[in-house]
Structure 1
């Protein structure tokens, strides 16, 4: 189904209106005059700004152009038309891996294909390039300059003749369309039923490559059979999943349009908005809908600028029941691993459900005291790993969280485990991990778990124990004079959240010393502690994983309540009250 929907996306947006051409990054432009004399070499690489909110050094990327569709090479030397790598265009390569005879043969293949097209189409621009390729002195000048400036073996090169790009020459484009990319690898004598269109057609032997995060830079195929273990019924390689060239080209182009941040529409010639989220170094979520929808195009902002998504959801112009509410929405999680692409998971729903689930997500991660803007998903995920490096996340975790947000599914225990373990490792609960814990419990619809703010009436023992630890910490701060380099939480949080029966008796004794130092002012904290432990007969010997999560939320909510009260005290310059009925009155 998913390949079928990608094919329909490509058809709907006109990505394969001209299937003989595709959008590709071309780094080098060889500039010639009308007689084919070499003038200069232009590097199209430029800095691409990082997404808003993302830190790091901007990457440099080559400009995108609509060029003749590349052939998709195997081990056999096959030239591409008009645009190719240096080993075919100039007979040179940066690492000198190939012999001079091999490079000469490849250069001749490229030149012969261009000569054939130029003569057949009577293209003056094509003839000028042919003259350049035949002039060893001019060609070597260009090869020397590109070597001095530094280039990669997989950089693509093209030509500009007398101010016009060679691949824009309409006579050459028409010739290429009529030729029909006759160098394709399918065997026209053998037809099979295409899995996508259902018609009997020759099936492609090799699917076009996609550039996917984590895979080799030259690209990988989404459909491939590279081992006999994957083959059945006596069929070989991709005959196990026969797809005709037309359908293959369409689904690949649809996926490229979603992944490539600088994709150029073949129909309009304008850049299109990518629809993907880079979750980790090797995992990407791609998504689309049956119709053009503003919400779908904004989903990538969840990572670092989620306020844009929430503003759209709250916009009165969007309405609650749009005409596209029941249209289908699709999402894939894809990972790259060297020479292969892995489809980790897929899901589909409706745009109406997507809106509801996003609103629930924003409600679930909201913490009392937030300054209006929701926390970026990228920050939430980074809080689960050492030094905030997303590549250290477990492979499935980021994708499961993203699916849970978009489709309202229960988050896996892996999320809870990662948050709890990181709390213990750092001996603290950050706002980001507190938000993730709220999201986890909300997805499991555990009503006993307070969300967003302190629930002083909660009878859940782990939650109350977390509140108690925070109260002991605040008591220590008051008794020992405000800011401390190291509090009891820095020492005891991990043990208190897992083995409260061992740690809390020590904390009770320690709190008595702190209460004694406060004198009459300690009565407020004594009353608060009594209210928290009321009904807890014994400190549990161990807490389960979910109980540790509720413990962390209790600690965080109570701590934030103290923080807000301290701020209020600074503003009002008044003494603490002793009303313990609600956490908001704690000072």
Structure 2
């Protein structure tokens, strides 16, 4: 299903005039340099195609397809690195001494010519790099020899006349030697035209690709047609944590993965065309900011079976809403400008879902019955692991994600976002003081599954949030919102004795829940202490919060006795005493122990009461606020 869906998405992208996606026989590559060749076959100069940023980035270009080359010598057509284009390579000193400087035995001796060396690196021409250059030259002669084109003849003359040992003697290559040998791709420019963009060269390449004789034919599992089978599938790039050169989603490298004597991808025959379509579509999605988010160690890509992009942008906004900018903070990745129109769309959808209405085409910009796909990928050495795969209509998906945000609604600071991203929610499970926040990869998949299926939230995430509140002695609107959402869904499913009507967005003074009242009581006692001495370093929060939320019968008698000393000294003592009496009116006795659900109600009561102390007015549900 995954590969079939990606192939269909490629067909959608190919028919969209606004999308630049490689055609069959081509792929997107990062190109660093253009080598300008004169008509008589000399290297005139080198053009740096990289961006002018502090860390230069290569230019994305559509070039003849660059298939994966895990091993062996395999040149690419009119776009390759310095090892193939010039026959030169740079290696680390330790690697050089291990591979090239051991002449004690015949099998270790390797023919090589050192061009330049220092304590760390060695630039050299050796048998393997010279073979790479020769096969590169042979490939281009076999494809281009029959063309009557002056620019092509000049390019072939350059290859015929190039000597790898003269790499550092040429002033053009010496100027860029370090960058060229770093592995960046080079293309060729002749008379102001890129060689790979010339129609004659493209036609020659396409003819050559279609007439390759080493193809094995079999029935494709995707199309059902008898076609040439892809022996090795293209690498997938852009998954966080995976190898920068790309990783495989379909591969066979062990006898245990093979059957009936078939090797590599012949075990699951997918045609070259289908392989090209699904890998190109997936790489396109991973390169698009509008079609991907990150959840823990998982890179999530999503797409709709339509050329309309508004629904994908809407889903991206729901999953990863922008944080309100703070003047004192600078976003390294660039300022995220809030889209007022998008905010109003989200508000309209949330209000519809709240009153039980269905979203329609006007709300989301496309037919609500359109299929929508979500794919979660995580790194696994040189491969990719599929964490989850979800298919639903875009209408149902929007409703489920909107319901999640409605369940998470909680009274908050005015600068707090209305919708909380999954990334920010998961970050609440790790110490906020940690420089490197490592979120459990399991939690990411569990929370997303709960959102997409509309089921209860994972107890492991709930327990992790409770633990952080106890350890930190503080609860913010993100933690409080999730605790409320967890208890709400638990009650809604009939798995708890809690009344969902008592689980509210803001302070509920009428609630008869004892744990909720005890949380309010702890907040009132804490305020009574702070009113006496605001500069106090050690408060009841740091000493007693964890035990008060777990074993109130042990802690609260001590806290009430201590509070009387603070109330007697405070000028607001009467108000504090009055509030404490009002809260205790609904508590017959202090429970000896609170289970996990009751601990959540305790923390919710604590959070609501504190917000009531410091909030002048509550934010109405229908008020337009920053997301």
Q: Answer with 343-352 or 28-37: which moved more.
A: 28-37
Residue of 399, 421, 437 corresponding to 1:356: 399
SS of 1:65's partner is strand
Match of 2:205 among 157, 176, 201: 176
The whole-number CA distance in structure 2 between the counterparts of 1:183 and 1:552 is 68
Distance 2:291 2:214 in 1: 31
Equivalent residues in 2 for 1:316-331, closer than 5 Å: 319-320=362-363, 324-331=367-374
Mapped to 2, the partners of 1:18 and 1:150 lie a distance apart of 28
Cα distance change of structure 1 residues 185 and 396 upon mapping to structure 2, 3 Å threshold: farther
- Hey, what's the Cα distance between the residues in 2 that align with 1:455 and 1:47? 57
Could you tell me how far 1:426 is from its partner in structure 2? 1.5
Q: Which residue of 2 aligns with 1:95?
A: 91
Kept after mapping to 2: 8 A contact 1:36/1:161: no
RMSD: 3.0
- Alpha-carbon deviations, 1:375-398, whole Å to 9, x = none? 551333323223466750001222
Determine if the alignment matches structure 1 residue 199 to structure 2 residue 210.
no
1:225 aligns to 2:215 (yes or no): no
**CA–CA distance in structure 2, aligned partners of residues 225 and 244 of structure 1:** 16
Deviation of 1:253 (Å): 1.1
Alignment of structure 1 residues 64-463 onto 2, 5 Å:
64-95=60-91, 100-133=126-159, 134-136=161-163, 140=168, 141=170, 142-149=172-179, 152-153=182-183, 155-180=184-209, 186-188=215-217, 191=218, 193-211=219-237, 212-232=239-259, 235-261=262-288, 274-280=290-296, 282-291=297-306, 292-301=308-317, 302-303=319-320, 305=322, 308=339, 309-314=342-347, 319-320=362-363, 324-371=367-414, 373-377=417-421, 378-386=423-431, 387=433, 392-444=438-490, 446=492, 447=500, 450-463=503-516
> Which sections of structure 2, spanning at least 5 residues, go unmatched?
15-19, 100-111, 113-125, 324-337, 350-359, 493-499, 619-627
The runs of at least 4 consecutive aligned structure 1 residues that moved more than 6 Å come to 315-318
- Per-residue deviation at 1:92? 1.8
1:561 CA drift (Å): 0.7
Name the CA distance, whole Å, in 1 between partners of 2:214 and 2:535: 72
Query: Who is 2:574 aligned against?
Result: 523
2:532 counterpart residue number: 479
Q: 1:498 to 1:417 in 2, by over 3 A?
A: same
Provide the residue aligned with 1:576 in structure 2.
none
**2:82–2:180 Cα contact (<8 Å) kept:** no
1:424–1:128 distance in 2 versus 1, CA, 3 Å: farther
Name structure 1 gaps, 5 residues minimum.
49-57, 262-272, 569-587
Contact 1:45 1:61 in 2 (8 A): yes
Q: 1:127-153 deviations in whole A, cap 9, x for unaligned?
A: 322233323387543443332447533
- Provide the C-alpha distance between the structure 1 equivalents of 2:488 and 2:38, rounded to a whole number of angstroms: 67
TM-score for the superposition, normalised by structure 2? 0.78
Change in Cα spacing, 1:409 to 1:108, as seen in structure 2 (3 Å) is: farther
Kindly indicate whether the alpha-carbon contact (under 8 Å) linking 1:122 and 1:171 is maintained by their aligned counterparts in 2.
no
Indicate how the Cα distance of structure 1 residues 284 and 454 shifts in structure 2: closer, same or farther if over 3 A, else same. Answer: same
Q: CA deviation at 1:402?
A: 3.6
Residue 498 of structure 1 and its aligned partner are, at CA, apart by 2.7
1:437–1:553 contact (8 Å) kept in structure 2? yes
Query: SS at the partner of 1:122?
Result: coil
2:156 & 2:284 partners in 1: Cα distance? 33
Structure-1 residue corresponding to 2:335 = none
Q: Relative to structure 1, is the Cα distance of residues 139 and 330 closer, same or farther in structure 2, using a 3 angstrom cutoff? A: same
> How many aligned positions are there?
540
CA drift at 1:106: 0.3
In structure 2, C-alpha distance between the alignment counterparts of 1:45 and 1:547, rounded to whole Å: 58
2:63 counterpart SS class: strand
Measured in 1, the distance between the counterparts of 2:129 and 2:203 equals 29
Q: Tell me by how many angstroms 1:331 deviates.
A: 0.3
Partners in 2 of 1:483 and 1:455 — Cα distance?
A: 30
**Equivalent residue for 2:104?**
none
Compared CA separation, residues 339 and 518, structure 1 to 2 (3 A): same
Change (3 A) 1:403 1:467: same
* Partner Cα separation in structure 2 for residue 404 and residue 552 of structure 1: 23
Q: Secondary structure at the match of 1:120?
A: coil
Contact 2:35 2:186 in 1 (8 A): yes
User: Post-superposition shift, 1:368?
Assistant: 2.1
Contact 2:298 2:387 (C-alpha < 8 Å) held by counterparts = no
State how far apart, in whole Å, the 2-side matches of 1:390 and 1:169 are. 49
The alpha carbon displacement at 1:449 in A equals 5.6
Cα offset for 1:332? 0.9
Which of the residues 492, 496, 500 maps onto 2:544? 492
